[in-house]
Amino acid sequence: MKQIFKNLYAFDDKLISKKPIYVEDGIIVDEFEKDDETEIIDCDNLAVLPAFTDLHVHFRDPGFTYKEDLKTGSLAAIKGGYTSLLLMGNTNPPVSSPEVYEDIIKRSKDLDLIDIEQVYTITENLAGKSLSHLDTMPKSVKFISDDGRGVNDDNIMYEAIIKAKELGVKMALHEEVAKVSAKDYEIAEDAMTLRDCYYAYKLDYPLHFCHVSTKGAMTAIKYFKDLGAPITCEVTPHHLYFSDKKREEMKVNPPIRKEVDRQFLIEMIKEGYVDAISTDHAPHTKEEKEKGAPGFIGIETAFSTCYEVLVESGIISLNQLIRIMSTRPAEILGLNKGRIKKGYEADFVLIDLDQSYIYREDEIRSKSKNSLMIDKKLDGRIKRVYKKGRLKYEDNR
C-alpha cells in the first residue's frame, strides 16, 4: 500500500517541513511516482508529529479491570496520540510468570490498536525477596520493574542488576524507601535514587528512573549522567503542571511536590537531562479516589498539558517536546518509531495546535474518570492518529 500525506506541517525532534510524507506498507520511504492505487491523505494544514510513546502506564489488566482494561486503555492512549507504551506489572496476579505475561501480549495483539510492551516484575510477585522467577522469564521481555514500590533490600537490588545484565533486559525503577516514605517522602525518593544511580554507574547497567519528582533525585541523576552512567529518566505531566499550592488535594505517589521541585524538573528538561515524559496513567474509581487511592489518568491530555507548560510558555520548542514524548521514549523501548524519517514506521499524530478545547468527562475514553484536567481549557487538539499508515482515531469536532 502506497500513501502520500500532504498539506501538512511536519515536526519531529529535528525536522520542520511542509514537504509531503511518502509511506509504503506502513514505513516512511523516499519520494515515489504516484499511481492509481496510491492513497492521497490530505492533512488539512495540521501539524504532523511522530506518535507518542509512553514508558509508564497502568491498564489494571488482569485483576482490576473494573478500573481499566487493555481495550479501554488502548482507546484512551490512541485518543492521546500514543501508539506504543510500556505497561507496569502490579496487576493481580502480578506479571511474574510467563503465563500472565504472554496472555497480556496475546490479547493486546489481538486488539490491533496499539503496540504494547509489558514489564516483568523485578522480584517475584512484587514481594521484594526472590528473583528466581526471572529464570523462566520470556525472551521477549525488554524491561523489568516493581513499579508501585521500590526494591528496598540493597543486596536484592544488587543481585537483580547482575541478573538483568545476564538476561539482557533493562530495569525501570520506582524509587521509595518504604520505611521512610510515611515520614518524609522527599528523602525516601532522594535516598533510593542516589543508591541506584551509584549502582548503575559502578555496574555499568542501564537503569531507567520512573516519575522523578524531586530536585534532590533529579540532581543525583544529573550528576551521574555527567559521570557517564547509562541512566535515563522520566517525569510526569502532573509533576510539571501542579505544585505545592494544591498538593494536599491531589493524592498521588510520588506526591505533588514543592514549586522549587517543579521548576527544577522544568530546568532539567530545558538542559536535556530528562529523557521522557511518561504519564503514569493510573485509573481508579470515584470511590477509591475518595478513600485516598493514589494516582490519576492522564494519557488523553498529556500532550496538551505539556504543550502549555513547556512550549507555549517559551521554555522549549515543539521539536524538543517531541524529543521527550516521541523520539527518546521510542529509542529507550527499542522501537523503530519517533521520527519522520525514511525507514521509520508511519505512526503519526495530527494536531490542531491553534484549537482550544474543554476536556469534558463525557469525552473520556478511559474506563475511569479520575483526571485532574476535567473542565480545564487546553490547547492543541488531537485530530487524527495513524499507526503504520492506518487511521486509528479521528476527532471531528
Q: Which residues are catalytic?
A: 280
Q: What three-state secondary structure class fits 44?
A: strand
The span from the CA of 5 to the CA of 112, in Å, is 22
β partners of residue 247: none
- Chain centroid to Cα 123, Å, comes to 22
**CA 51, 337, 143: angle at the middle one, nearest 5?**
105
Among 238, 397, 221, 375, smallest CA distance to 305 is for 238
Is the Cα dihedral 226, 54, 277, 178 positive or negative?
negative
The span from the CA of 303 to the CA of 305, in Å, is 5
Among 21, 20, 54, smallest CA distance to 344 is for 21
What is the CB neighbour count within 10 angstroms for residue 215?
20
Tell me the DSSP string of 300-353: TTHHHHHIIIIIITTSS-HHHHHIIIIIHHHHHTT-S-SS-STTSB--EEEEEE
Q: What three-state secondary structure class fits 190?
A: helix
The span from the CA of 7 to the CA of 42, in Å, is 6
Tell me the DSSP string of 105-143: HHHHHHHTSSEEEE-B-SSGGG-SS--GGGGG--TT--E
β partners of residue 385: 349, 393
